[in-house]
Amino acid sequence: MTSLDLLASSRSVEIKKIAQKLGFLDCRVAKASELTNDARRLEAWLNNGHHGQMEYMANHFDLRINPTKLVPGAKSVIVLSKNYFTKSTQHIEAPKLSKYAYGRDYHKVIRKAMKVFLKEMQQSFGEVHGRGFVDSAPVLEKAWARESGLGWVGKHSNIISKSAGSFFFLAVLITDLELESDAPIKDYCGSCTKCIDACPTDAINNPYYVDGSKCISYYTIELKNSELPDSMKGKFDNWMFGCDICQDVCPWNRFSKPHSESDFNPKPEILDFKLEDWAHLSEEKFNELFAGSAVKRTGYNGLTRNIRFLINPLGKAID
């Protein structure tokens, strides 16, 4: 091993210590190279219209596959994960929120931590340039998580860790710092098809391939200014924002442990709200409950549209 290799290795050890100190679940490194195979898969997915009305997915294609377009001189891609698993549950009859939306908007929480992360890197290694991304820019976070060995892509298309399951957020920091890369790991899904079998809208129509335009999360979050299709009535399993079905049934999530991030804790009212409370949700109450929350993405009109879709005038869930 050369002196440069030793330096890259020691730097990788140091950044993982920094990540652990800042409360990240895991930290891995991939070489900043072009994602050629992922580019072909993304292109086919877009050509098949599986992004639905998410037109932004087709934008900045070259930036998604080449990290040097985002950070000139990029050498390494640091992949971070942040646990959001919780055992907290809503009232049994209430329309459901995805676990990730229980607390403060993860974009804000992780972005703040990544700024500190980069600052500490600069204090440790001198002049370092980098950009952090949290699910809000043309970056293929799952592909980088796979390349870095943070986990493998499950049949539901989420990243799975052998030690932590899949209830975690991903963040990527592209940097011009030379680091020792980690190796990808094998796929441990085996012959399991629980996520495919459990999806009520057949969004996972083939292993490892999700038709985003059929996903409950797409309908309840991304589909804007439109009523939900009658063909989907009775298929949402009472989800009003997002969906956790494919993760809830995944055997690897028996290894998920509750997070320790106070910002991700739900307001007690959100857990206590009953069906009738959601059915009569006012805009004022929506703003109070979801101030600083990812639920703001769908807005009051979007969430109440979803709730109406789930309940009839008597306030009972549709069979």
Per the annotation, the verdict on 135 as an active-site residue is: yes
pLDDT at 214: 92
Whether the Cβ atoms of residue 157 and residue 210 lie closer than 8 Å to each other:
yes
Computed on alpha carbons and rounded to an integer, the radius of gyration of the chain in Å comes to: 20
Identify whether 232 is part of a domain: yes
β-strand pairing of 96-97 with 239-241: parallel
* 107 plus 205 within the same structural domain: no
Identify whether 281 is part of a domain: yes
pLDDT at 314: 38
Identify whether 150 is part of a domain: yes
Mean pLDDT of the chain: 90
Total domains in the fold of the chain: 2
| Confidence check: pLDDT of 318 > 80 | no
| Confidence check: pLDDT of 50 > 80 | no
Could you give the CA distance from residue 153 to residue 132 in angstroms, rounded to a whole number?
22
Which tokens go with 170?
Answer: 């991903």
User: Averaged over 8-33, what is the pLDDT?
Assistant: 96
* 303 plus 155 within the same structural domain: no
* 125 plus 212 within the same structural domain: no
User: Averaged over 283-299, what is the pLDDT?
Assistant: 96
User: Averaged over 246-267, what is the pLDDT?
Assistant: 97
Active-site residue identified among 5, 38, 62, 135 = 135
Cα distances from 231 to residues 108, 144, 201, 309, in angstroms, run: 36, 36, 10, 11
* 202 plus 241 within the same structural domain: yes
pLDDT at 317: 47
Percentage of the residues of the chain whose pLDDT score is greater than 90: 77
pLDDT at 206: 85
Range of the domain at 271: 194-246+266-310
| Confidence check: pLDDT of 291 > 50 | yes
> Which of residues 175, 204, 230 is at a domain's end?
175
Question: In this predicted model, what pLDDT tens digit does every residue of 51-60 receive, in sequence order?
Answer: 555 555 555 5
Q: In a 3-state reduction of DSSP, which class is residue 248?
A: helix
